[in-house]
């Protein structure tokens, strides 16, 4: 049975400089992401049938999992899944504005594009301790939420459109405790075409 595997980054570790530095990207991918993956795979060894399912399917129905792996899927499965998405939410050609059609969707949901960015930044900044900020969709409605640790929006029925890792490991080497500077830098990297693709995906 095939286990879950570490996805490659769609760009080089140094491609997001100067906003996200090469060393942080490399450690984040090869150490943090890899560790979530290894722990997830180890915990599912006695239930190899789960490896046939996309991890987001397991995360979307945690209560249906055997109790002895539920917490590992929530934490390590969440970490594995969220980082797999996160790399694609970033692009060396990112930042700036979304397409006009996707921008209109954000404007109709949040008033205007700058208000959307302000609200997202504020949610990311005020998440206490480790976690993520998310742009999510449920029942046709867009919302900005945060979750703690690796708790997944998909476990609450949300579709993830875009997300920002605000664990200190994502920024501490370059930004130390200045999460606000990291968030400001992130806006230069946001892969809007991936966000739009996910929004339109059924
Ligand atoms: Mn991380």
Ligand 1 centroid–CA 83 distance in Å is 6
Q: How far is the CA of 32 from the centre of ligand 1 (A)?
A: 6
Instruction: Give residue 100 CA to ligand 1 midpoint distance, Å.
Output: 30
- 28 Cα: distance to centroid of ligand 1 (angstroms): 6
Q: What is the whole-number distance in angstroms between the Cα of residue 146 and the centre of ligand 1?
A: 14
Residue bearing tokens 């997300």? 163
**Low-confidence residues of the chain, pLDDT below 50?**
none
Domains of the chain: residue spans and CATH: 22-89 (1.10.287.990), 100-200 (3.55.40.20)
C-alpha to C-alpha distances, 55 to 67, 183, 201, nearest whole angstrom? 17, 27, 18
**What are the residue ranges of helices labelled H in the chain?**
22-27, 34-43, 55-59, 67-72, 78-88, 100-110, 113-126, 172-175, 179-186, 192-200
CA angle 163, 186, 147 (to 5 degrees): 30
pLDDT at 2: 86
Instruction: Give Dmax (Cα) for the chain.
Output: 50
d(CA 149, CA 73): 13
Q: Three-class SS of residue 142?
A: strand
| The pairing of beta strand 131-138 with beta strand 141-148 | antiparallel
What is the Cα–Cα distance from 179 to 170, expressed in whole angstroms? Answer: 9
Per residue in 62-110, pLDDT tens?
999 999 999 999 999 999 999 999 999 999 999 999 999 999 999 999 9
Query: What pLDDT is stored for residue 11 in this prediction?
Result: 98
pLDDT of residue 125: 98
Residue (of 103, 112, 131) closest to 190 by Cα position: 103
Amino acid 202: pLDDT: 80
State residue 1's pLDDT score.
63
pTM of the model: 0.97
């Amino acid at each position: 049975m095939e286990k879950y595997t570490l996805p490659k980054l769609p760009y080089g570790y140094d491609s997001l400089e100067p906003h996200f530095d090469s060393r942080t990207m490399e450690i984040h991918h090869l150490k943090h992401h890899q560790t979530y993956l290894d722990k997830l795979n180890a915990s599912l060894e006695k239930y190899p049938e789960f490896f046939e399912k996309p991890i987001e399917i397991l995360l979307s129905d945690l209560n249906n999992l055997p109790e002895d792996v539920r917490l590992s899927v929530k934490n390590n499965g969440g970490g594995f899944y969220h980082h797999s998405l996160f790399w694609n939410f970033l692009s060396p050609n990112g930042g700036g504005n979304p397409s006009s059609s996707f921008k209109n969707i954000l404007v109709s949901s949040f008033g205007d594009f700058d208000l959307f960015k302000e609200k997202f930044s504020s949610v990311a900044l005020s998440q206490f301790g480790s976690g993520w900020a998310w742009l999510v969709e449920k029942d046709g409605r867009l919302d900005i939420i945060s979750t703690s640790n690796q708790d997944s929006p998909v476990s609450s029925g949300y579709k993830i459109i875009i997300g920002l890792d605000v664990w200190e490991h994502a920024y501490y080497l370059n930004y130390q405790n200045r999460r606000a500077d990291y968030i400001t830098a992130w806006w230069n990297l946001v892969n809007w075409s991936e966000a739009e693709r996910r929004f339109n995906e059924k």
